[in-house]
Structure 1
Amino acid sequence: MKASDRHRAILELVQTREANVEQLTEALGVSEATIRRDLAVLHKQRRLVRTYGGATALVGVHEPEASLEERKAAQREQKERIALAAAAHVRDGDTVMLDGGTTCAALARHLLARSDLHVVTNNLLAVATLANAPGIQVTLLGGDLRSSSMSTLGPLAELLLTRVSVDTAFLGADGVVAGFGLCEASAQQASLKDCMIRRAAQVIVLADSDKLGRARQQHWTPIEREWRLITAASAGEAALEPFRALLGVQVEVVDALDAPDTRAL
């Protein structure tokens, strides 16, 4: 297992409880010396807290939010593959919800060929893509502009969501942690995602490999229902296993090198 995969798995394991070196060694199948080195690295990076004989999650500390341009550039190939796989879940005549974020914006580009499609979104990047597409009706969720993500949120956006329902909601996040939900930089973002989840017949979370097990923001949206995660194979089994173990969660993995396999959909 690569060091990056071990680090991600360790962070996932300490999210719900303190874990000692022996437990981490058994869970990951590596030596105690390797685990101790990993814990030292993660502690130095301020991603967890060392305890006597083990480690626990870092609480109350968050990382600076990436700029829109940084998010556009990050994991671009993964996001395109994930977006293409997500588009396979959309049929002509559907009503879908697109959350803010660059992966959902990428999904919008893959919906241009659909007909009789209704897209409800707070994502201004997606609106710019879909605005003149024939056969696609766009409903923009009004509200306060969040310029750092080019999306809307707040009470007005949440109010409009009480008046609509959709077949599928596609959600992004700053981080996705098994058993916790979606991690966000602001309470308004977390609250709006909760409203989206409540208004959708099906929920699909789009997350590149860097988002799995990532809990560096302080606001959360639990997903207390069945949902699907679409992510990249490069995440590795250590990062994917906690999601596969959850009841009601379907994990769809996209190979970054090949077109997504949608034969079972």
Structure 2
Amino acid sequence: MRLLRGAGALSIRHLASSLGVSHMTVRRDIATLEDEGLVDAVQGGVRLREHTGVEPPRERDSRAALELPRKEAVARRAAALITDDMTVFIDAGTTCQALVPHLTSRRGLTVVTNDFFTVSALFAHPAIEVIHTGGVVDAASGSSSGALAAATISAMTLDLAILSTGTWDTSHGLTSPELDKVVLKRAVLDAATSGALVADSTKYGTAERFRVVPLDALDVIVSDAELPESAAAAIADMGVELWTATD
């Protein structure tokens, strides 16, 4: 709690390192503190709850502050997938948004996205054509999804789909807590010639209740060097390319 009062939000990895305990211990402690009404669990970490006296950032801002160097490294590596004259879908999320600065030299690029932050970031780059999917708005994540968004995608042909996820592993594939997101992600993969996942290693080994697709439905996975060796081997056995980012 002392560390959180100083930072507002911290990653599980940072807390485990600072306290000299396992990730599972940190997760159990977060669950206990959440039950006591002191904190809120977010993807990859934890933030102070508002009534503790420290104003917490919005959910999207909390996630953006977690594992920032790792997210940027993954985004930088994933940007190599995008070439001139592509029509590419960029999913919602802080890692996907971090792709934007690496796209400014591309020519003839069309970006399709459900992420309002990515659209806003691309306002400064008028040479890149931008299409927003529309759909049901999720204010907490700054994105949209659902059947309306999927209908927009179904009217398009995509060269590449770059997906994000908060939960993934080799057994369950990509999963999501919300059906609206499942509908959109599946529509995007159906419309795309190739599909890629960008997800750092802190999100690996977790699953939500709704399955999006198995990992072998993807062509490329971009993660970081701390992904477990067993996971890397399993991905290779599936015939999926694994691109590893370095800081």
TM-score range, shorter chain: 0.7 to 0.9
Moved more, 234-243 or 147-156: 234-243
2:201 matched to which residue of 1?
209
Q: Distance in 1 between matches of 2:149 and 2:42?
A: 22
Q: Give the Cα separation in 2 of the matches to 1:98 and 1:238.
A: 28
Following the alignment from structure 2 to structure 1, what is the Cα–Cα distance between the partners of residues 144 and 68? Answer: 23
Structure 2: tracts of 5 or more residues without a match? 1-12, 14-21, 32-39, 44-58
- Gapped regions of structure 1 (runs ≥ 5): 5-37, 48-62, 257-265
Counterpart AA for 1:146:
D
Q: Could you tell me which of 99, 102, 127 is aligned with 2:94? A: 102
Hey, what's the Cα distance between the residues in 2 that align with 1:41 and 1:75? 19
Q: Which whole-Å CA distance do the structure 1 matches of 2:227 and 2:136 have between them?
A: 34
Larger radius of gyration: 1
Q: 2:78 aligns with which of 62, 78, 86?
A: 86
- Structure 2 counterpart of 1:225, from 208, 217, 224: 217
Partner of 1:193 in structure 2?
A: 185
Call closer, same or farther: CA 1:191–1:135 in 2, change over 3 Å. Answer: same
What is the CA–CA distance in structure 1 between the aligned matches of 2:182 and 2:42, rounded to whole Å? 15
The structure 2 residue matched to 1:167, chosen from 132, 145, 159, is 159
Q: For 1:3-22, what aligned pairs fall within 5 Å after superposition?
A: none
Note the C-alpha offset of 1:64. 5.0
Deviations 1:217-253 (A, max 9, x none): 22220145342110000223144333223x2311111
**What percent of counterpart residues are identical?**
28
| TM-score, normalised relative to structure 1 | 0.70
Q: Is residue 135 from structure 1 mapped to residue 127 from structure 2 by the alignment?
A: yes
Give me the TM-score of the superposition, normalised by structure 2. Answer: 0.74
Counterparts of 2:84 and 2:28, CA distance in 1: 50
1:185 CA displacement? 2.1
User: Match of 1:137, as an amino acid?
Assistant: E
Q: Deviations over 1:131-186 (max 9, x none)?
A: 23132100000111111110011221011111001111000001111142212121
- Equivalent residue, structure 1, for 2:150: 158
Q: Secondary structure at the match of 2:168?
A: strand
Q: 2:5 matched to which residue of 1?
A: none
Structure 2: how far apart are the matches of 1:116 and 1:71?
31
The answer to which structure, 1 or 2, has the higher relative contact order (CA under 8 A, 6+ apart) is 1
**2:176–2:211 CA contact under 8 A, matched in 1:** yes
* Residues 112-140 of structure 1: per-residue CA shift (max 9 Å, x gap): 22121001110111101112313210000
**CA distance change for structure 1 residues 91 and 80 in 2, over 3 Å: closer, same or farther?**
same
Q: 1:226 and 1:185, CA in 2 relative to 1: closer, same or farther beyond 3 A?
A: closer
Q: 1:43/1:149 Cα in 2 relative to 1: closer, same or farther (>3 Å)?
A: closer
User: Using the alignment, how far apart are the partners of 2:27 and 2:203 within structure 1?
Assistant: 19
Give the Å deviation of 1:41: 5.8
Question: What do residues 186-214 of structure 1 show as CA deviations (whole Å, max 9, x unaligned)?
Answer: 11112211111111111110001111121
1:174–1:185: 8 Å Cα contact kept in structure 2? no
| Equivalence for 1:249 | 240
Instruction: Identify the residue that residue 69 of structure 2 maps to in structure 1.
Output: 77
Q: Report the secondary structure of 1:234's partner residue.
A: coil
The residue matched to 1:145 in structure 2 has which SS? strand
Preserved CA contact (<8 Å) 2:163 2:197: yes
What is aligned with 1:18?
Answer: none
Rounded Cα–Cα distance in structure 2 between residues aligned with 1:243 and 1:46 = 31
Detail structure 1 runs of 4+ shifted over 6 Å in the superposition: none
SS at match of 1:88: helix
CA distance in 2, matches of 1:98, 1:43: 30
1:126 pairs with 2:118: yes
- What is the CA RMSD across the aligned residues, in angstroms? 2.4
